[in-house]
Amino acid sequence: MKNVFLETANVRAFREALSVLEDIEKGQPGLGVVWGRAGRGKTECAREFAVRTGAVYLRVLEDWTPRAMLSALCRQLNGSEPKTVDRCKRIACEILDRTRKTILVDEADRLDMKLVEHFRDLHDEAGIPVVLIGEEHLFPMLNARRRLWSRVTQTVEFGPITAEDIMLFGFKAAELKLEPAAAQKIGGRSGGDFRLVWQDIRDLEQMARAAGAKTASAAMIDALPARKSGPTPEKHPLNAGR
């Protein structure tokens, strides 16, 4: 299969939100929150955005201390690793104030709220957008902090990948034409998890190649190995829109 980056509805919503945040005048509230179940493509979307735009991408590590976290940020900004929290924050604010780089914090739901407050400080002091990205419980975790939530101006929920997206991915990644019913079945099997969709398309590509076919039917989906998708809380069907 080809390595492709699919511009799904989630990706478009992410880019639109970031465009708004980066247009906000310095000194105005400009925090963003992106959340959704694991496997929805949040990390790949954030990484692609960082590579394409020069934004700073940070993935949260377990048991980060304030100094370790802010030192990781400085390392991204100018290669330095200051030894104190105060020095880290001062250097980061000076660089961010000058460069206006957006900060993307992935797996932010793993952060202690005291660490999240350091990103609020960076946003307030340097006037740059900060986007916190995580799983479903990130939203209520941040929403409960009134002082922090008052600065949030853009929110994006990553929903399940749609049947249309699955069909497009099959064509771009595997040159495989999926019948609409087949795409629906894949969506149902995966619970909207893009990782599981990728596995199904990979297996379908192999099946189609062995059969000399270019189209994947709904019957072929029934022959795929069972996959564990986890709970699917969304009430809307896969193709209910974007």
CATH of domain 163-222: 1.10.8
Joined together, the tokens standing for residue 228 give 């564990």
User: Where do the domains of the chain lie?
Assistant: 9-157, 163-222
CB-based contact 145:112 (threshold 8 Å): no
**For residues 27 and 51, which has the higher predicted lDDT (pLDDT)?**
51
* Whether the Cβ atoms of residue 194 and residue 165 lie closer than 8 Å to each other: no
DSSP string, 22-35: HHSPTTS--EEEEE
Residue 155, number of CB atoms within 10 A of its CB: 16
- CATH code for the domain defined by 9-157: 3.40.50.300
Measured CA to CA, the distance from residue 239 to residue 164 in angstroms comes to 7
Judge contact between 123 and 30, C-beta under 8 A: yes
What are the tens digits of pLDDT across the range 68-118? 999 999 999 999 999 999 999 999 999 999 999 999 999 999 999 999 999
pLDDT per residue as tens digits for the range 30-72: 999 999 999 899 999 999 999 999 999 999 999 999 999 999 9
8-state DSSP, 106: E
CA 100 to chain CA centroid, Å, is 21
Structure letter (DSSP) for residue 178? E
Q: DSSP for 203-224?
A: HHHHHHHHHT-SEE-HHHHHTS
Average pLDDT rounded to a whole number, residues 207-228: 89
User: Residue 235 class from Cβ within 10 Å (0-12 exposed, 13-18 middle, 19+ buried)?
Assistant: exposed
pTM assigned to the model: 0.87
pLDDT at res. 180:
95
